[in-house]
Structure formats: structure tokens, C-alpha cells
Chains A and B, each alone.
Chain A
Amino acid sequence: NAGVTQTPKFQVLKTGQSMTLQCAQDMNHEYMSWYRQDPGMGLRLIHYSVGAGITDQGEVPNGYNVSRSTTEDFPLRLLSAAPSQTSVYFCASSYGGRSYNEQFFGPGTRLTVL
């Protein structure tokens, strides 16, 4: 199993550009989520999905869109990048999304918005 994969690993954007961060998992997990990691703030939840066709907002959803057309994939879209979106982005997945289930994280995407 590859686990959770993310592409790209690094990305530099200019303000106003759009892009999609890719996330895929091969563990047949129902639950997937996107977090951003900023210095001194831990990880904050952006969006999450409890299954194909179902998504919901997390703590910091503004400026980001998601969709979940398959169990495996959960892309994160930035429609108009802003410097405040400079961060490290992690995708995670877990089986069933129960409160005690381990979440598996991808290696992250480091995004810089100029």
C-alpha cells in the first residue's frame, strides 16, 4: 500500500493564481480531511469528507474548495491564492471516522504564495 499520497511536494504561486492540491489514499478509508500547519498554531482543519459525495467545512474553510467524487481522491482547490494561504498542507484519512480511529497523514505540500 502507498498509504496517503500528496502532490505536489512544493509549489510557489503568485497572488490570484489558482491550483489544486491532490490527495489520494489506497486503504479504502471513508473519512478524509485537509489540514493546514502554521508555525505555533498546530494543525487546523480546512475541510473534511465522511464518504464519496459528502463534504463539510472545518475550522478554516475560507478560500478553499473540495469535492469527493471517489473514495480514493480528495483534492483541495485554491481558486484565488492569497499570501495568507502560505502554509504546509496535509491530507489525512481514516477508516470510518470514529473518534478513536487513527488518522493516516500524507507527507504534505509546502505552498508559498507571493
Chain B
Amino acid sequence: GNSVTQMEGPVTLSEEAFLTINCTYTATGYPSLFWYVQYPGEGLQLLLKATKADDKGSNKGFEATYRKETTSFHLEKGSVQVSDSAVYFCALSDQQQPSNTGKLIFGQGTTLQVKP
């Protein structure tokens, strides 16, 4: 079945450091890929998405490129801030079901801590 694997956390960085959080997936067909972020005490919110191969999603300085050849969707940011401290989830849409279900399959989440 479909699955998402993220790098283990926590990831601890100093402010202005470069961030990469790895995400690989297994899926049949052509899923849409997402990164969601969860700030402390809050629900998840969409950070960025890509809907087809070679698409690049971007938002708030974060980027991720849909790589079908390596089945990856790694999240990157050139210079992190303390306010980026959160849990980041990679997810894919479940394309095995009829197209109107929109179900998401999540990775286990990666905690990012940015220190001043």
C-alpha cells in the first residue's frame, strides 16, 4: 500500500542554518504531495504542495520538489528562524481510492527546533 517515510527527528539547528527534511514515498499512480506544519499546541496547516512530477511547491521560504524518479519530496529552507520551530509532516493523497475521497497518508513527523 501507499506509505510515507520521513527522516527521524528531532532536528536541532541554529538560527540562519540550512534545513533539509527528507521525505520519500511509496505510491501507485500519481499522488499529490504535501508538507503540513504543526506549531506547538495547534492543529496542522498546509505549508506547501505539489501535484505532479517536477512541480516545486514553495511558501514562507520553504521549498520542496516532486521527484518521481527518486520518489522523494524533501523539504528545504535556506535560513531557518526560531519561529520555524514546529513539527513537519510529509503526506500524500491516496490515489487508490475514487478521486473524490482526498484521503491523506502521513509520515511520522519531524520535530524541528531552532535555537537563537
Contact = CB atoms under 8 A, between A and B. Distances in A.
Contacts of A43: 44, 89, 104, 106
Contacts of B49: 100, 102
Contact of B44 (A44, A90, A98, A101): A90
Contacts of B42: 107-108
A45 B108 CA distance: 13
Contacts of A48: 101, 103
Interface residues of B, number: 27
Interface in A81-114: 90, 92, 94, 96-108
Interface stretch (B12-20, B67-75, B76-84, B92-100): B92-100
* Interface of chain B: mostly helix, strand, loop or mixed: loop
B89 A103 contact: no
A99 B108 contact: no
A76 interface: no
B43 interface: yes
Interface of A: 4, 31, 33, 35, 40-45, 48, 50, 56, 58, 90, 92, 94, 96-108
7 contacts: A31-B101, A41-B108, A42-B108, A43-B44, A50-B101, A98-B102, A106-B43
Given A43-B44, A105-B44, 18 more contacts: A4-B43, A31-B100, A31-B102, A33-B103, A40-B108, A42-B106, A42-B108, A43-B106, A44-B106, A45-B103, A45-B104, A50-B101, A96-B100, A97-B100, A99-B32, A99-B94, A104-B45, A108-B43
